[in-house]
Amino acid sequence: MVKIPDGMREAGKERRRRERRRAIALACHERLAAEGLAAATLDDLARDAGLSKQNLLFYFADKADLWNEAVVAAAEVLFPVLNRLVEGEAGMRAIRALRRALDEVERVLPAPLAIWLDGPHLPGATAEQRSRAVLPQTRFLEGLARALAVPRTPGLAHQRLARFALQSLLSPRREARAHARSGLVPPISLAAELDWIEAQLVALASGLRVLREDRP
């Protein structure tokens, strides 16, 4: 009989635990997106995951720990999809593709998007959770910067525009969620605001391309 080294056994247990935590967090996405961290109860979240409250707390220290894992899982779901939807576009078309991609994600993955909008701030998160939350976005932004720079190598300006474009197209959606929860009517429609932002971003991308082409 082959004896499995203790280190490999522990690594396997830790991997299975991480996978289980992620699966539970994904199962809780709908409620967390609808109710938020403060309103969602551990009893309801455990029920959504098919667990008892006691079993839920075996995997998570508290509700904040579950929320942090839910935000990480949202990033791991969202950004690869966004990357696939924007991939292959270049320059100004990449900006338009990003707008369409976010609209599509909002339609087909509303819960992960809502959680990402509500919480990139992770209360009491571990360094590993913060790293996992940031990495998918970082990879996406690197790809978007390359798309904006085609056919050149992306520079600092492309990286800044990529980050600004994503933040600019997410911010009105975040504000719309806040208005919906408060019962206030937003000053202008979300679609109209996103149209205006998209136009400004396209103009910035066009200006950046012209500036780069004018350089020797």
> Could you tell me what percentage of the chain is helix, strand and coil, using 3-state DSSP and rounding each to the nearest 5?
80, 0, 20
pLDDT digits (tens, 9 = 90+) for 139-169: 999 999 999 999 889 999 999 999 999 999 9
Average pLDDT value for residue range 200-214: 77
Please report, as a single letter, which amino acid is at residue 118.
D
- What is the predicted pLDDT for the residue at 4? 59
CATH number at residue 187: 1.10.357.10
The residue among 112, 137, 117, 132 whose CA lies nearest residue 26 is 112
Answer yes or no: is pLDDT of 125 > 90. no
Residue 15 CB-half CA count within 13 A: 6
Residues 172-193 pLDDT 10s:
999 988 888 777 766 678 999 9
Q: How far apart are CA 69 and CA 45, in angstroms?
A: 13
**Omega of the bond leading into 5 within 30 degrees of 0 (cis):** no
Domain, as residue range, for 192: 6-214
Q: Is residue 195 part of a domain?
A: yes
**Cα of 48 vs its chain's centroid, Å:** 22
Segment 33-44 mean pLDDT: 93
Domain assignment present for residue 166? The answer is yes
Paired tokens of 137: 């976005």
Please give the helix or strand (H or E) that residue 90 lies within, else none.
none
The two structure tokens encoding residue 16? 């299975």
Q: How far, in Å, CA of 102 to CA of 170, rounded?
A: 8
Q: Are 89 and 146 in contact (CB under 8 A)?
A: no
Task: Give the predicted TM-score (pTM) of the model.
Answer: 0.86
Q: Could you tell me the pLDDT band of residue 213, with boundaries at 50, 70 and 90?
A: very low
In a domain, 49, yes or no: yes
Q: Are 158 and 183 a contacting pair, CB within 8 Å?
A: no
Task: Compute the distance between CA of residue 158 and CA of residue 150 in angstroms, rounded to an integer.
Answer: 10
Mean pLDDT for the chain overall: 89
> C-alpha angle with apex 172: 167 to 177, nearest 5 degrees?
120
Q: What is the pLDDT of residues 62-106, one digit of tens each?
A: 999 999 999 999 999 999 999 999 999 999 999 999 999 999 999
How does residue 214 score in pLDDT terms, banded at 50, 70 and 90?
very low
23-51: average pLDDT: 95
Number of domains in the chain: 1
Position 174, amino acid: R
User: Are 74 and 112 a contacting pair, CB within 8 Å?
Assistant: yes
- Is residue 1, in this structure, part of any structural domain at all? no
Q: Following DSSP, what letter does each residue of 174-188 receive, concatenated?
A: HHHHHHHHHTPPPSS
Closest among 83, 107, 105 to 94, alpha carbons compared: 83
